[in-house]
Amino acid sequence: MSKEIEDHRNFNRSGNEPFSSVLEKHVSRRDMMRGGLGLAAVSVMGFGSASALAAPDARTGMKGTSAPGKKPLTLAFDSIRGAKLDSVVVPAGYTAQVLIPWGAGLTSDVPDWSDDLEMTPEIQANAIGMHHDGMYHFPMNKGSASREFLLAINHEYIDQSALWAPKGGPTNARSGDRPADEVRTEINAHGVAVVHVKKQADGRWTHVVDSPYNRRITNATEIELGGPVAGSDYVKTKFSTDGLLTRGTTNNCANGYTPWGTYLACEENWPGYFVRNTDRQLDDDRLGVSRGRGRYGWETAAGDGSEQNDEFARFNTDPNAADATGDYRNEARAYGYHVEVDPYDGSRLAVKRTAMGRFRHEGCWPGKLEPGKPVVFYSGHDARNEYIYKFESRAPWSPADASRPGANFDRLAIGAKYLDEGILYVARFDADGRGEWLPLTPKARTQDGRLLHQALNLAADDQAGIIIHTCDAADLMGATPMDRPEWGAVDPTSGDVYMALTNNSDRTAEGTDPTYTNGGSRVEELGVGYDTAPVNASNPRADNGAGQVIRWREDDNATGFDWEVFVFGAAASDPDNFSSLTELNQFASPDGLWYDDRGNGDGILWIETDNGYDPVEEYTNDQLLAVVPKALERDGNGKAVVNAHNQKHLKRFAVGPNGCEVTGIFATPDKTALFINIQHPGNWPASKDATEQTQGSIRPRASTVVIQREDGGQIGV
């Protein structure tokens, strides 16, 4: 989630034990058990250390996964210094190219870009959207997978000042009715793009205009509902009286992908697009549906003479008819899901997979894939004091369902097989370094011994109701509130899972009283959040703007896990610089993560940032760092895996332009091209060369950037 649109309110009133308390107890317990050496002295899980590779962990019996006798990967570039420039900075010997910036045409009738190009609904519907975020690649055929593929990419939100720059900004941005065509254009700037890209003979990349695979899915596109919520009374509307369809996907942040070759777009800060002022429901308050006016005021265009099929009215969810089939009281309940897209088949509607939970999904990362075992996906709810979730399919994985590039088969039917039935879990982290996955099913037992469906006043078989109230169900089950769970990443060999907990600058010291927006208990009761709150689920540090990355490994029984802190963000000068970061790798607000599997149990963990922590922000723009987990030795710092003895293996690889967030990441299968996204830059790009410094002032455009070595070798090594 971009900090540009972060909702600082705290909607979690559960009172569950926060992660900060768990972490403090965990570290203290390790200090006592290991004579002051702390949790990092010996791996609880056998993660990564050289000693763990040689012998099983004494308690879990797990071994490391590097090939016997194989030396871990080494990062073969020098860590670059921080930068504050209107350009992308990469190591010596590397190039960076701008690809598919906002407004790039998918069809030949889209005008060439200019700083004074005025966007229209038609142009934006056939062009790359705004604010690139999560993305993934889907090969056209196996033999050319590293040279030509379909790129699926999220467009998270909009910058109205850039979108409407030629006319001096948006009309009636804060009050009054919005013009219908401005709203349509903004709706079309959101969503997902599928674009055909390929590498040219000169080594540069381009997109194929007018490719039959090029496609936009916007916040107006018709989408199916799948899973337990589909067809239920919870999602019946005037548009879909049977509750099987909805329109649009919005605020898609991170992403996922499936082993059968589909893309998962993840709806994150969607509640702010909807308004509900009367008869508010439990989930409206728990998730933060707007009062008064939506984020961009789209609902104010309702009643315009050109409005078709309530395209604007649907954003106001106040009841105004005899039942739900006559209004849009349930419209927001069709949002908050993972959206499955078949990038190869534009004739098929995307599907919202409701069994995987309804909340502010940051992303969706597939776990270790094993034949005969369930397919697993992990997801975080990116907000203060929210939770980490796991979905486990009912159907066991069959390799016969694996993706076959270029083959014509029903990928969405396979998606229904694995994603429409299964168990949704939420995580509890314990102080002893253990954790438990708590099932969110009607007959699960809550902390106080009730059946979950009874605690939520639902019927005994109402899984759809559990999904609609995912967050309330997680509260009742005793999940551990975390500090803005961002992206995750999975080592496909060991199954180790990494999750970024990005920051919480509003935290006060433990034991202090919270203060509330506008003051008063009535405001708290209505779900309006904290101005400040004591340290909780995510960090052991008050006023923590730096964040951290945690790591866990599942037990064989799939309901228990071991966990530890992998690395703490910090400025080099911080007194609580627990990972001993230096000027050459200091970072804060870890956000995007990607595990770059290099085979034989080795890989690179890439870490992207969305920084707002002053000591680091004053030194450098947002950045991309790399670390090889298997290369890390441990010492006795008692805090994290990355420490004073091994943090030299954590290196800064790239720095983005002023004002940006670095996000979205993958590499081609041959590892010779690394793709990242530059979101909301302030004054960039000046040309197709991402490293060119902008001179003067230009209309900023979010863009995908392709980083390659000048000698054509593999990235990073």
Q: What DSSP line would sit under 337-377, residue for residue?
A: SEEEE-TT-TTSPPEEEGGG--S-B---EE----TTSEEEE
pLDDT (0 to 100) of residue 16: 72
Residue 415 has pLDDT above 70, yes or no: yes
Between 575 and 652, name the one with better pLDDT: 652
Q: In what order do the strands lie in the sheet with 485-490?
A: 365-366, 374-380, 388-396, 422-429, 434-439, 560-568, 548-554, 497-501, 485-490
pTM of the predicted model over 0.85:
yes
pLDDT (0 to 100) of residue 384: 76
470 DSSP β-pair partners: none
pLDDT (0 to 100) of residue 553: 96
pLDDT (0 to 100) of residue 37: 28
pLDDT (0 to 100) of residue 72: 75
671 DSSP β-pair partners: none
Residue 148 has pLDDT above 60, yes or no: yes
Mean pLDDT along residues 487-501: 97
Residue 19 has pLDDT above 90, yes or no: no
Residue 430 has pLDDT above 70, yes or no: yes
For residue 194, the surrounding DSSP H or E stretch is strand 191-199
198 DSSP β-pair partners: 148, 206
Phi, psi torsion values for 196, nearest 5 degrees: -80, 120
pLDDT tens, 433-480? 899 999 999 999 999 999 999 999 999 999 999 999 999 999 999 998
pLDDT tens, 173-191? 999 999 999 999 999 999 9
pLDDT (0 to 100) of residue 274: 98
pLDDT tens, 281-331? 999 999 999 999 999 999 999 999 999 999 999 999 999 999 999 999 999
Residue 629 has pLDDT above 70, yes or no: yes
For residue 422, the surrounding DSSP H or E stretch is strand 422-429
Residue 538 has pLDDT above 50, yes or no: no
Output the six-digit token pair for 283.
């989930």
- Binning pLDDT at 50, 70 and 90, where does residue 35 land? very low
Tokens 């969607």 label which residue? 270
Residues whose CB is less than 8 angstroms from the CB of residue 420 and which lie 6 or more positions away in sequence, other chains included: 226, 227, 228, 353, 355
Mean pLDDT along residues 229-254: 98
pLDDT (0 to 100) of residue 521: 34
Mean pLDDT along residues 388-404: 97
In the chain, the N- to C-terminal Cα span, in Å, equals: 30
Residue 589 has pLDDT above 60, yes or no: yes
For residue 663, the surrounding DSSP H or E stretch is strand 661-667
pLDDT (0 to 100) of residue 503: 77
Residue 535 has pLDDT above 80, yes or no: no
Between 635 and 408, name the one with better pLDDT: 408
String of b and e for 96-127 (b: at least 16 CB within 10 Å)? bbbbbbbbbbbeeebeeeeeebebebebbbbb
Between 259 and 56, name the one with better pLDDT: 259
Phi, psi torsion values for 119, nearest 5 degrees: -75, 145
Q: Pick the most confident of 13-22, 36-45, 52-61.
A: 13-22
Residue 10 has pLDDT above 80, yes or no: no
Mean pLDDT along residues 676-697: 98
Look over the chain and give the mean of its residue pLDDT values, rounded to a whole number: 88
